[in-house]
Structure 1
Amino acid sequence: MILSANKNNAIAYYKTAFEGNPRQAVADYVGEEYIQHNPIVAGGKSGFIEYFERMQAEYPNKSIEFKRCIIEDDLVALHTHQVWHNADQTVDEYVTMDFFRFDELGKIVEHWDSIQLIPKISANSNKMY
């Protein structure tokens, strides 16, 4: 039951922040502490909020699709496909992997991620997600 709740909460957290409401995401899903491992996002809850508010202002038409969710103990991993519409009318697509650690209350307390631009040309026909 807890694993299923953590899965649902990780997806809801990321989706809420990605779609433009990081303050609500933090209020609903983050624990007392928040350890950030992404080097371009400042630490703590405020760093997360600032990053996602800036992302929303710069890329209001971005989209996310959750491809996979893997759960183990207090960790949830999300594999996503993201599409970002740039100011110059070009589109960038990314594959991301995010890892969240939950506390005993079911709140997110730590985050790691990796993001990669999907190349326009691939040496194989397999998708990255």
Structure 2
Amino acid sequence: MSRQDNKKNAIEFYKMAYEGNPQKATELYVGAQYIQHNPSVGDGKEAFIAYFEDLAKNYPRKSIEFVRAIAEGDLVALHTHQVWPDANKEYVTMDFFRFDEQGKIIEHWDAIQQVPPTSANNNTMF
């Protein structure tokens, strides 16, 4: 698989899971193992699915915009803007996915920050 394929697949995986179908996302895009580094999500596919099913149930109107995607070697980095109207919050995220030789996601790291109401500069977080 090429870096471009990995980039496309990382976006499709995240979008599908985020929009409420994490089961299908893992079937299509995740390898035999799934190592999770986010301390709020359990390790493995089933924990990932449960987490995103819970998000879909509790925050049905959330949306995601993929601002940047960068691929290097077996890694893909995604920079996203998330809007959660049900919680009256916005987030900026940086997600990193590691792919195996078959082009399947096998590891994930992320950093999440709430967009503050004011900023010390005039630049956006996106």
**TM-score w.r.t. structure 2 length?**
0.98
Please list the CA deviations of residues 31-76 of structure 1 after superposition, one character each: whole Å capped at 9, or x if unmatched: 0000000000000000100100000001000000000001110000
Could you list the structure 1 runs, at least 4 aligned residues long, displaced by more than 6 angstroms after superposition: none
Q: CA RMSD in A?
A: 0.9
The alignment-based identity, stated in percent, is 63
- Gapped regions of structure 1 (runs ≥ 5): none
Across the two proteins, how many residue pairs are aligned to each other?
A: 126
**What's the secondary structure of 1:28's corresponding residue?**
helix
- Gapped regions of structure 2 (runs ≥ 5): none
Cross-structure match for 1:15: 15
Cross-structure match for 1:103: 100
Cross-structure match for 1:41: 41
Q: Distance in 2 between matches of 1:16 and 1:38?
A: 19
Please list the CA deviations of residues 7-31 of structure 1 after superposition, one character each: whole Å capped at 9, or x if unmatched: 0000000000000000000000000
Displacement of 1:79 in angstroms is 0.1
**TM-score w.r.t. structure 1 length?**
0.96
Cross-structure match for 2:88: 91
Displacement of 1:91 in angstroms is 1.8
